[in-house]
A = this chain, B = another copy of it.
């Protein structure tokens, strides 16, 4: 079983190996290496397989004594750029650092992968090399959203893997999102809500009404609590832990939230910059403002996670700096250590079995035979 083969090499008490793409981010390999320094300092049993151009990377690594023995450099000739089309990368992407990063997970060398590169290309390569989990129709991208929930974050998916989703896909998103919240946010029984334009049951699109029933019926097998429809206002609230929606709506909502936060923080900066008194006030309030900034800093929640593949892939923001890269690597590390992939696969299989024979079984940690096509 993959479970047994993976354990001694890529995770467990000795060390957890994460595969990292050093290329393709807007800030280049310098930001990635700086992020690794931070992340390796925080996680003593983390080891990194770093993929990219040796001529650029070797000198950067040599300058950081703390990385000695903890980063294995793997040379890759080519780089996937932000302009490359996913379909081209699928056909001609072999030899790129992105491809090699994913293949290290496929080959069981690493427990999870991280890349700051082109999202569409990363999803395409991940689909091609890792393949979908048995029982999953559409993989999804899940993000963390600063919220009023006790853990400080809610999970939302899909935020951009696919522009559409049927009712059955939304059910799988619920199961996968709940599993992610359980393993990534330590919530035993996450509250799952379905994003709609109102919370009344008669509102919204036809597929949402169908999905609402599916979500309620599979709550037991999926290990979540179904809270029904939620609205845009609820995304950052304490009413829900996991928000389920199609990739079009989710992507628009995510970017609208980012845009709103950006506008407010710019206006706030201008307000505090206007006049001597305001500047003095800003100085006094510095600590409070820093705490707030830290709370909603998008760099600290950096990392969309691809769910529904035979391998965990974390997509870091293209413009991530060292803090952002460290957050994404840290997330990949936690998920790999938690055995997240095996737990997710078990949940999907368990819900599928429940749907087939209508007798849901709670098998959170057990891995059913045949759930990994690589075997």
Contact = CB atoms under 8 A, between A and B. Distances in A.
Interface stretch (A15-23, A91-99, A220-228, A233-241): A233-241
15 contacts: A147-B263, A160-B197, A232-B253, A232-B255, A232-B258, A234-B259, A245-B252, A252-B253, A257-B259, A268-B292, A271-B291, A272-B285, A272-B288, A278-B288, A280-B284
A16 B254 CA distance: 42
Contact of A205 (B164, B233, B263): B164
Contact of A278 (B204, B287, B296): B287
Interface class of chain A by DSSP: helix
A84 B128 CA distance: 51
Most chain B CB within a 10 A radius of its CB, from A147, A234, A236, A275:
A236
A252 B204 CA distance: 11
A302 interface: no
Contacts of A249: 248-249, 252
Interface of A: 85, 146-148, 160, 163-164, 195, 197, 202, 204-205, 231-237, 245, 247-249, 251-265, 267-268, 271-272, 274-275, 277-278, 280-285, 287-289, 291-292, 295-296
How many copies of this chain are found per oligomer? 2
A241 to B, nearest CB: 15
Contact of A163 (B204, B274, B280): B204
Contacts of A291: 271, 274
A204 B261 contact: no
A257 B195 CA distance: 14
Contact of A267 (B197, B259, B274, B295): B295
A211 to B, nearest CB: 14
